[in-house]
């Protein structure tokens, strides 16, 4: 990996390292229309009269001081609520949302670049980018800012019926971090891929997160695609399974990743024939 190892005393004491830090919750509030739900995800010092843009800028500075060069997070979106185009929504309305995103995030990304830190948006429903097309639109809005890229998490693609490998191939130089997380589609003909306003863990949902290796994510093609683009960063397990004990799941997920991850070959398998 290209990041400098974190040097926190607590981590060193336990023989651990830090490769990236996260500020998803504050990032969500940068572009979102704020409502009471956001109060639950924000510390009191930020809720109400806080400045999330300034907090994100300070996150870049904190990352540099801590010794890492990756921050992962969310952006929020002023147009996510307009996903279903009724009442009729014009492209001018959507373009205004991407302009709002650029106006708020370009100054943040400038600070990240000054600090030598990259920001990886976790492409995700409710964010300014939730699939390949909107990810491209977000990059275009920022003028392909070099500090802005993606935290690749295939679990958010599966229930959108997207092929995660195509995302890797579309943005080979913008995959700044990788989450190992899984989800499972469980449509019955009665439920919806929109999840029917049901909580995670409810078996009636049309999809849900499950422990890595137990869902619909195909990890072998993803590992091969990451090898093709030369990704050498961490595979960070993000574990969310409402139906499984978390300690059991953590051990199982770690074993799964170790079993699936492999280095690329340095030669074609049939190259040896040339030496016969």
Question: Which DSSP string do the residues of the chain spell out, in sequence order?
Answer: --SPPP--HHHHHTT-----EE-HHHHHHHHSPP-HHHHTTS-TTTTTT--HHHHHHHHHHHHHHHT--EEEE----SSGGG-S--S---HHHHHHHHHHHHHHHHHHHHHHHHHT-EEEEE--TTSS--SHHHHHHHHHHTTS-TTEEEEE-THHHHTTT--HHHHHHH-TT-EEEEEE-EEEE---SSS-TTGGGPPTT-TTSSEEEE-TTSSS--HHHHHHHHHHTT--S-EEE----TTS-HHHHHHHHHHHHHHH--PPPSS-GGGGGGG-
Q: Is residue 7's pLDDT more than 80?
A: no
Encode pLDDT of 21-35 as tens digits.
999 999 999 999 988
Stated pTM of the model: 0.92
Encode pLDDT of 57-107 as tens digits.
999 999 999 999 999 999 999 999 999 999 999 999 999 999 999 999 999
Q: Is residue 261's pLDDT more than 80?
A: yes
Confidence of residue 1 (pLDDT cuts 50, 70, 90): very low
**Domains of the chain as residue ranges with CATH:** 1-152 (3.20.20.150), 180-261 (no CATH)
The per-residue pLDDT for 6 is 41
Confidence of residue 13 (pLDDT cuts 50, 70, 90): confident
Mean pLDDT of the chain: 92
The per-residue pLDDT for 2 is 33
Encode pLDDT of 126-160 as tens digits.
999 999 999 999 999 999 999 999 999 999 999 99
The residue ranking higher by pLDDT, 266 or 135, is 135
């Amino acid at each position: 990996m290209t990041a400098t190892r974190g040097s926190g005393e607590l981590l060193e004491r336990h023989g651990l390292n830090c490769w990236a830090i996260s500020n998803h919750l504050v990032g969500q509030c940068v572009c979102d229309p704020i409502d009471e739900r956001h109060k639950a995800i924000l510390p009191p010092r930020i809720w109400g009269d806080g400045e999330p843009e300034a907090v994100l800028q300070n996150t870049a500075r904190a990352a540099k001081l801590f010794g890492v060069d990756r921050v992962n997070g969310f952006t929020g979106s002023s147009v996510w609520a307009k996903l279903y185009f009724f009442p009729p929504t014009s492209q001018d309305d959507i373009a205004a949302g991407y302009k709002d995103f650029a106006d708020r995030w370009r100054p943040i990304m400038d600070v990240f670049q000054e600090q030598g830190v990259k920001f990886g948006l976790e492409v995700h429903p409710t964010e300014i980018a939730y699939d390949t097309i909107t990810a491209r639109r977000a990059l275009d809005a920022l003028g392909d800012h070099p500090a802005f890229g993606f935290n690749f998490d295939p679990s958010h693609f599966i229930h959108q019926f997207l092929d995660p490998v195509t995302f890797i191939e579309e943005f080979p130089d913008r995959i700044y971090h990788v989450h190992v997380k899984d989800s499972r589609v469980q449509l019955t003909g009665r439920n919806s891929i929109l999840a029917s306003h049901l909580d995670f863990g409810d078996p009636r949902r049309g999809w849900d997160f499950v422990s890595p290796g137990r869902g619909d994510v195909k990890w072998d093609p993803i590992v091969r695609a990451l090898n093709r683009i030369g990704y050498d960063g961490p595979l960070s397990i993000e574990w969310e399974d409402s139906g499984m004990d978390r300690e059991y799941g953590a051990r199982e997920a770690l074993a799964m990743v170790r079993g699936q991850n492999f280095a690329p070959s340095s030669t074609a398998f049939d190259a040896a024939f040339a030496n016969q």
